[in-house]
Structure 1
């Protein structure tokens, strides 16, 4: 029988940091998608603000590193889907 307490396993901090970065980026992208849908729903009342909302969402995505983390194409698709009331 092996004494588990005697076995020392060094944590892989690099892997842990990569996991944390990925988890944060994923949480941000999910929140961003929710906001695209929420602001897109507002267009039912004020269609004239479509360009303003689109520009705002892209600026937020850039400021939070989503464009770099997930790519320009995905961000544009999410914005369009949100503004059209659909899914990406």
Structure 2
């Protein structure tokens, strides 16, 4: 609950990639990330951006370029301070 005169600090993390030669990116968000529900993104273009209202985001990508092999990189995590908007790059 906010008191009068108090400003809410929205925090967001935007997922960004410059590599279009990938099959899938997996994302988890929240304080327990990388544990938690996995959001899957496929057919990603270089201008695609995904923004999440969260303080912590972890992501990993498929290994093998555009071929889905079922193997993934290790989780890479980004954390934002309250009220901060940051960009997290896909490894």
Bigger fraction of residues in strand: 2
**TM-score greater than 0.5 by the shorter chain:** no
Bigger fraction of residues in helix: 1
| TM-score category of the 2 structures, normalised to the smaller one | under 0.3
